[in-house]
Amino acid sequence: MSQVDLKALGEEYKYHFVDKVKPVYVAERGLTRRVIEAISYHKDEPEWMLKFRLRALEIFQKKPMPTWGPDLSGLDLDNLVYYVKPAETRDARSWEEIPEEIRRTYERLGIPEAERKVLAGVGAQYDSEMVYHRVKEELERQGVIFVAIEEGMNRYEDLFREHFATVVPPEDNKFAALNSAAWSGGSFVYIPPGVKVELPLQAYFRVNTPEFGQFERTLIIVDEGAEVHYIEGCTAPMYSTESLHTGVIEIVVKRGARSRYTTIQNWSTNMYNLVTQRALVYGDAFHEWLDGNLGSKVTMKYPSSYLLEPGARTEILSIAFAKTGQHQDTGAKIILGAPHTSGTIVSKSISKGEGRASYRGLVKVLDGARGAKANVECDALLIDPESRTDTYPYIEIEEDTAHVGHEATVSKINDEQIFYLQSRGLKEDEAAALIVRGFIEPIAKELPLEYAVELNRLIELEMEGSVG
């Protein structure tokens, strides 16, 4: 399988290099019962998990492909590899325990350095397996669990089974069923009552194999009065054929707890990124989604919060950048199911060349959710005349006392703005990039400093040559 010449594409694709890593096991192509059994065998799973996988496979096979969103006709599910075991080492506790060729990848991406400087814990996934997890010792002493999801299943089975697949069951949608059948890797996180994790936990997901599907599954439980910030980053090489990323994120935020889930995804433009992310938020708790999408061929991702008890709150902030050959179909969902719950959605999208960005969202207020409040802001910026943006808002209100607002704007970079900034000494590309940075500033300012800098740098690279 050929790889695109990244040097010719420039710095924009510095994360999309190929590693010369020979996996120890590669499953046959296509998703069959035999492949599912092989995944379960290599993971040495309990019988109940294999039964869960096989039931999910049946659900996946019965559900039709979604036709209401982006075009998925180029995705050949029968031609994908669904499991690649990169090495015998799994979930090491030090970087030295990881095979050298895999360790070099994460050093090149700067993950060990970030762990030393600004993170409370790091997990690293390579193709189908988590190869590293470590959390600071003082957090371990407080009872914080941050391990590969497979280790969570085996070491903390009661806690794991109490919550696994209860937030996103296999029946939810076709790709949730696919993940449930083929899941491999991801994190299991538990924050005990009252424990506040001051620095972020981070997981980094790397795809190296062509025509491959990555199906990590992350389960986060934030117990009463606890606090945590979890960050996910993703990259993959750029091949000439399609790959698939179908993750499932399940989060439980118990009474009085606070959590934030940040995703900065910079997949290569041959990737189909089809993800289900959901949080259950209980009384007086707060959950925040911070969602950045700059890569992939097609993205379908709608972080959702279910506000289940009085006083539960959520905020969903998202940014999507679509250039030629990309369709970013992103958005958010908030279900207000109890009195005095509240939620906010702020969605920003940028379309360049013939790129297409779509906002697709749902705000639903259930009967009895007295005094519930929700507000949605959708802002789109078009760089070129060929760019396209669409908005598909759904608002369902079953409670007379609810307050729900929605506003949407579409704007273009105009010649007067460019001329003004050029008169102040900026080049045309620099002027356009500055306008875009100002557009996304409400979201970028919420990121940790290192990630805000990286987001702005990626935007600048995307904007090079976009005007004139």
pLDDT of residue 273: 93
Residue 455 domain flag = yes
Closest CA to 239 of 215, 205, 216, 272: 272
Strands 187-191 and 227-235 come out as unpaired
**pLDDT 10s digits, 309-353:** 999 999 999 999 999 999 999 999 999 999 999 999 999 999 999
- The three-point CA angle 230-233-234 to 5° equals 145
Residue 435 domain flag: yes
* Mean pLDDT value of segment 112-137: 54
Cα gap 26→37, rounded to integer Å: 13
For 358, list phi and psi in degrees, rounded to 5. -125, 135
Q: What is the pLDDT of residue 14?
A: 44
Asked, for residue 446, whether it belongs to a domain, the answer is: yes
Q: What is the pTM of this model?
A: 0.86
- Residue 9 confidence (pLDDT) above 60: no
Average per-residue pLDDT for the chain: 83
| pLDDT 10s digits, 172-210 | 999 999 999 999 888 899 999 999 998 888 777 666 665
What is the 3 state secondary structure string of 325-374? CCEEEEEEEEEECCCCCEEEEEEEEEECCCCEEEEEEEEEECCCCCCCEE
Alpha helices in 63-136, H assignment, sequence order: 100-109, 111-118
DSSP 8-state code for residue 106:
H
Q: Say what percent of the chain tops pLDDT 70.
A: 76
In angstroms, the CA 329 to CA 1 distance is: 28
Q: Which helix (H) or strand (E) holds 154?
A: helix 149-155
Q: Please tell me the predicted confidence (pLDDT) of residue 92.
A: 52
**Residues pairing with 201 in the sheet:** 121, 230
Domain range for 463:
429-468
* 121 found inside a domain: no
Has residue 458 been placed in a domain? yes
* Closest of 249, 215, 1, 233 to residue 115, by C-alpha: 233
Q: What single string gives the DSSP state of each residue in 378-444?
A: EEEEE-STT-EEEEEEEEEE--TT-EEEEEEEEEE--HHHHHHHHHTT--HHHHHHHHHHHHHHHHH
Question: Which residue reads 């005349």 in tokens?
Answer: 385
Residue with tokens 């280790």: 151
Whether the CB-CB separation of 146 and 156 falls below 8 Å is answered with: no
pLDDT given at position 97? 58
HSE at residue 58, side-chain half, CA atoms within 13 A, is 5
Q: What is the pLDDT of residue 238?
A: 41
> In the structure encoding, which two tokens stand for residue 292, read together?
């950045």
Whether residue 442 lies inside any domain: the answer is yes
Q: What is the pLDDT of residues 246-284, one digit of tens each?
A: 999 999 999 999 999 998 877 778 889 999 999 999 999
Q: Which residue do the tokens 């895999």 mark?
A: 102
* 389 lies in some domain: no
Cα separation, 17 vs 32, whole angstroms: 30
First-to-last alpha carbon distance for the chain, in angstroms, is: 36
Total domain count for the chain?
Answer: 1
CB within 8 A of 442, min separation 6: which ones?
Answer: 317, 346, 348
CA dihedral 150, 158, 334, 447 (to 10 degrees): -50
Token pair of 282 as six digits: 């209980």
Cβ atoms 66, 72 nearer than 8 A: yes
Tens digit of pLDDT for each residue in 356-409?
Answer: 999 999 999 999 999 999 999 999 999 988 999 999 999 999 999 999 999 999
Tokens for 247, please give them.
């993750």
In a domain, 443, yes or no: yes
Give the distance between the most distant pair of CA atoms in the chain: 69
Q: By C-alpha distance, which of 155, 213, 151 is closest to 187?
A: 151
Residues 442 and 294: their CA atoms lie apart, in Å, by 17
